[in-house]
Amino acid sequence: MIGVISIFCLPQELEDLALTLNGLKRNSVYLDDSIKYKVEITMCLSDELTDWENTKLPKEYIKNRTIELVEKYLDWCEWELLWDSENILGCVSQRRYSLINNPNADFFIWLDTDMFFKDITLFYIQEAYKSILAPGGTNMFVITPEFVKQWDDTWDVVVNKKYHLSKLNYHLTADIYKESLQDIGEIDIVELPYLKFAGGWFTLITKPLLDRTGIPESFGHYGLEDTFVMFCSQIMRQRGEDVRQFGLQNLVAGEIHKARTNQTIKSFIKSKDRKDEFRKIAEANFNLELNKFNNR
């Protein structure tokens, strides 16, 4: 079996990447050889997203430091590191690349660099994958950890029950280290009533499911690929196809907000924030692509 972990990173996220790769290294010591992993990373050095003439840290520093992190922390798996591709300017184009570039993969894990996850997360994710894939099971599914309270109550399906009564947007002020590292109960696989997930939250999606939905080229570089997979999955479920999502009860992960240490490096890098521009492209093409899928 082959699992691909797909990561997109900008220069101002270099320290976040260090923490992420360190976390994956720590996770690796709990794994057996039943699944071979590949980590694909784009450290985007494109002039499209960074004003290098007005950036105090040289491009060469970002590049050399990224190589150092990858070589030190990813000695447990295969890896691929990309730099200046104008075709990858965001997490969506990164995930599309990973899907196309790995025809023999069994599943993909989409991982953002601002996520915190405990050392046993990958072990439980992969064991859940193998258990669900057992003879007679579906091969089109999503697996996620649990989280603290998010933007609204529709996310409670992936929120640990301990946080159901927390205030909305609790994830913005939560001490995610404390919330994730506590032992809050036995970890178990729970089937969810409907699909609800965010792309980079240590989200495992099987290749057969992504082969069916695809990641539309028209979405460009950022936005709505996770929503598209969810909507397409719902269409397939309505047609009687076996598409599911499973949560790992009491295994909490989450975005680092309160304790994120990226302000210093951001002050040395002049970035070009094009998220809104890129998201509008995805939004403009979303219904068209969904109708195309529905009419296949």
CA distance 93 to 223: 10
With bands split at pLDDT 50, 70 and 90, how would you rate the model's confidence at 3?
very high
Q: Using one digit for the tens of pLDDT, what is the confidence trace for 269-285?
A: 999 999 999 999 999 99
Kindly tell me if the per-residue pLDDT of 224 is higher than 90: yes
99: three-class secondary structure by DSSP: helix
CA distance 187 to 248: 6
Domain ranges for the chain, please list them: 2-294
Q: Using one digit for the tens of pLDDT, what is the confidence trace for 162-202?
A: 999 889 987 989 899 999 998 889 999 999 999 999 989 99
The residues pairing with 41 across neighbouring beta strands, listed in sequence order, are 7, 81
Contact 66, 43 (CB under 8 A): yes
Strands (E), the chain: 2-9, 36-43, 78-82, 107-111, 115-116, 140-146, 188-191, 201-206, 243-252, 254-255
For 241, residues 6+ apart whose C-beta sits below 8 A from its C-beta are 140
Overall average pLDDT of the 122-136 stretch: 91
Residue 46 has a pLDDT of 94
CA distance 241 to 126: 23
Q: Supply 22's token pair.
A: 């360190």
CA distance 60 to 214: 35
CA distance 256 to 269: 20
202: three-class secondary structure by DSSP: strand
Contact 14, 65 (CB under 8 A): yes
Please report, in angstroms and rounded to a whole number, the separation of the first and last CA atoms in the chain: 30
Residue 15 has a pLDDT of 95
Look up the pTM and report it: 0.95
Q: Using one digit for the tens of pLDDT, what is the confidence trace for 255-268?
A: 998 888 888 999 99
Kindly tell me if the per-residue pLDDT of 66 is higher than 90: yes
Residue 137 has a pLDDT of 72
Residue 259 has a pLDDT of 83
- Write down the architecture of domain 2-294 according to CATH: Alpha-Beta Complex (3.90)
- Identify the sign of the CA torsion 193, 199, 205, 211: positive
